[in-house]
Structure 1
Amino acid sequence: MKAAFGATRGVIPPLLLGVVTLLLWQLAVAAFDIKPFVLPSPTAIGDQFVNNLPTVWSNSLVTGFNSLVGLLIGAVLGILLAILASLVRVIDELSSAVVAAAMVLPIVALAPVLYSMFSASQQTARQLVASLAVFVPVYVNTLKGLRQVRPVHRDLLRAHAASTGQTIRVVTLPTALPFIFTGVRIASSLAVIAAVIAEYFGGPIGGLGKSITTAAAGSNYPLAWAYVLGSILLGLVFYLAVLGIERWVLRDRGT
């Protein structure tokens, strides 16, 4: 009973804040006669979202697939490079500059370049942009987690003649697991954002970013915001999915 009450107490305040925000938004648009090209009303956006739900869904599948591919590629590369950096000092020193550069690399400029490198009719460029956005937080958090292992634990395994692989499997990765999931959870939403931005700047037809561009170019701003709403919901789905996996894995391990 207490657990259920605690969960409800954690959900109700954000819901109330969301409802109040939407009401104030609706009132502000009506009271100040705000034009749709500046800010459509929530009711107008909701109408467009419901009326175009099949289109929003189909485009969400395209963006979701690109985001998922980017999330998997970026997470795997980030974890593997972090493991290598924790084992080899030279790789750690060299990769720090690469990661620092990746942090400030503008996706807006990167997407058109990748479209020129790969076929503009393929989703490859969008997936690579999402991968890059995912790689940085996963790498940083994983490397931090790998460095949390206490020296006494390493010494204990070394005293028992454990190999490097055994040490990583038995002590290092389990200790770093919460940090790894933190990085992936942060990166899950970034993957969606990066995929939408990449779609916004070109590539094949399909995807929420492309749909936002098309709707805005046709001056159908409520529809453009409806696709933005679809992007928000997609990002929440990714975040909650990773959060659910994280809780299941860490609970199963007793962490």
Structure 2
Amino acid sequence: MRGSAGRITTVVAPVLLGVLALAAWQALVVGLELRPFVVPSPLSIATEVAEHADVIAAAALSTATNALVGLVVGVALALVAAAVAASVRVLDEMFSPLVAAAAVVPVVALAPVLYTMFGANAQTARVIVAAIVSFVPVYVNTLRGLRTVAPVHRDLMRVLAATRRQATRVVTLPGALPFFFSGLRIASSVAVISALVAEYFGGPVDGLGKAITSAVSSSNYPLAWAYVVGAVGIGLVFFAATAALERGVLHRRSHR
């Protein structure tokens, strides 16, 4: 009973805080008579969301697809690279400057170059941007996890005459899982952001980034914010999915 009450509180408290924040936002807009180009009211944004729900959903689906494909590609490459770097020290030293460079590449500079390379009518550039941005946090965290093995556990495996493969499966990989999921949570968020930002600089005229630009250029600021709400929704879905995956995997391993 106490656990159920705690879970209910965990859900109710953020929702209540959000409702209060929206009420304060609405009151400030009305009380200060703020113009829509400064900040529209939550009610006007909600009206645009309701009226253009199908358009927002279609744009959100395009952005989410690019972010998801980029996230999967980036995570897969990061896991392979981290496993190789953890096994071969020389390769780790070779990868380090490349990863550092990838971590500081600005999307605003990379996206136009990729559109020139792969064509302005293809989604390839957006996927590559999301993959590069997702690669770094997963690689760094996974590599750290693979190398974080308690000496007592390593000594125990030696005493038990375990092979390297057995030690990796029993000790190294389970110990690296929390680090991997920490990187994955970060990557899931930045993949959405990077795919959204990449849409501002070219490519097909779909996705939330292009929709926001179009709404702002026509001075329809509540609609632009409605598209922002769609982007927030994608980010929340990605974060919730990775959190649920982490909880399920770690819970399953803890009960073995």
Which TM-score band (shorter chain)?
over 0.9
- Letter paired with 2:184: V
Q: Name the counterpart of 2:254.
A: 254
How far residue 194 of structure 1 moved from its aligned partner, in angstroms, is 0.7
Q: Name the counterpart of 2:229.
A: 229
Residue aligned with 1:187, SS: helix
Cα RMSD for the two superposed structures: 1.5
Q: Distance in 2 between matches of 1:248 and 1:78?
A: 22
Greater mean alpha carbon deviation, residues 169-178 or residues 212-221: 169-178
Q: Name the counterpart of 1:210.
A: 210
Q: Distance in 2 between matches of 1:11 and 1:68?
A: 26
Residue aligned with 1:203, SS: coil
TM-score (normalised: structure 2): 0.94
Superimposed CA distance per residue, residues 37-91 of structure 1 (whole angstroms, 9 cap, x where no aligned partner): 1111111111001110001111111111101101101111111111111111112
Q: Distance in 2 between matches of 1:190 and 1:167?
A: 33
Q: Name the counterpart of 2:56.
A: 56
TM-score (normalised: structure 1): 0.94
Structure 1 residues 53-202: aligned runs within 5 Å: 53-157=53-157, 160=161, 162-163=163-164, 165-202=165-202
How far residue 4 of structure 1 moved from its aligned partner, in angstroms, is 1.2
Q: Distance in 2 between matches of 1:234 and 1:223?
A: 17
Unaligned runs of 5+ in 1: none
Superimposed CA distance per residue, residues 102-145 of structure 1 (whole angstroms, 9 cap, x where no aligned partner): 22211111111111111111110000111111111111111111
Q: Name the counterpart of 2:20.
A: 20
- The 1:88/1:208 distance shift into structure 2, 3 A limit, reads same
Q: Distance in 2 between matches of 1:94 and 1:20?
A: 51
Greater mean alpha carbon deviation, residues 123-132 or residues 17-26: 17-26
Whether 1:9 and 2:39 are equivalent positions in the alignment is no
Q: Distance in 1 between matches of 2:31 and 2:188?
A: 38
How far residue 94 of structure 1 moved from its aligned partner, in angstroms, is 2.0
Unaligned runs of 5+ in 2: none
Q: Distance in 1 between matches of 2:84 and 2:153?
A: 19
Q: Distance in 2 between matches of 1:166 and 1:76?
A: 23
How far residue 167 of structure 1 moved from its aligned partner, in angstroms, is 3.6
Same amino acid, percent of matched pairs = 54
- Letter paired with 1:49: V
Q: Distance in 2 between matches of 1:158 and 1:96?
A: 30
Q: Distance in 1 between matches of 2:135 and 2:249?
A: 21
Superimposed CA distance per residue, residues 1-30 of structure 1 (whole angstroms, 9 cap, x where no aligned partner): 111111122222222221121111111111
Q: Distance in 1 between matches of 2:8 and 2:188?
A: 25
Q: Distance in 1 between matches of 2:154 and 2:59?
A: 49
Q: Distance in 1 between matches of 2:117 and 2:110?
A: 11
- The 1:161/1:9 distance shift into structure 2, 3 A limit, reads closer
